[in-house]
Amino acid sequence: MLDNLVARASIGRVTDPLARRLVRWGVSPDVVTVVGTVGSVAAALWFLPRGQLVAGTVVVTAFVLCDLLDGAMARVRDAGSRTVSQFGAVLDSTCDRIADGALFAGLAWWSLHLGDQPRTAVAAMTCLVSGQVVSYLKARAEASGLSANGGLVERAERLILALLGTGLEGLGVPGALAVALWLLAVGSVVTLGQRLVAVHRSAAAQAGDAGGAEEPGR
């Protein structure tokens, strides 16, 4: 939902100047991707299970912003090298899945062992699994030449809701994390259904086009 031209333009005003500077210094977008992933995973698995929710929210958010920066750097550095851009896209997608998994695993651990909120842990694990499946569905569909774009909750919404709930819970707002994660869990399941419908329609449209192309030869 947030992945639109207006949002990209607004974010680009902040990330593009820094991206151009890093590229001039010879920094690779892939390095930024890996550093952001390692940092967010370490922060999620260090701070959250220890109950340091505010610190975890701040540090994870800071490293997650690297995901915006590496894309801007790749666009700035793009010199038509198709192999490099393809590898960077695969690396970025893989690292996103790792970072998301660590975040929700850390939240599940806190919910079970420190927060005494087993139902919240269920929501966290639902978010973890459904988020991974939503992303896999899109990748698998695109590999088959089908479309699976859009949906109620994409990665940006997952991170915003999860980190907002985590930060508020850490600041003493009771139930903030539970509400955020259950909203996210329901939204992620809805998104999965929306993308399955989109894939079905895309496949049906391709089948219709193929049938129309064969008709004159009969």
Closest CA to 65 of 138, 163, 165, 169: 163
Distance (Å, rounded) from C-alpha 64 to C-alpha 68?
8
Helix, coil or strand: residue 112: helix
Q: Is 81 exposed, middle or buried (0-12, 13-18, 19+ CB in 10 A)?
A: exposed
Q: Which two tokens stand for residue 129?
A: 């699994």
Annotated catalytic, 96?
A: yes
Q: Which of 70, 96, 116, 209 is catalytic?
A: 96
Distance (Å) of CA 78 to CA 20, 145, 181? 11, 25, 38
Which residues form the catalytic set?
A: 96
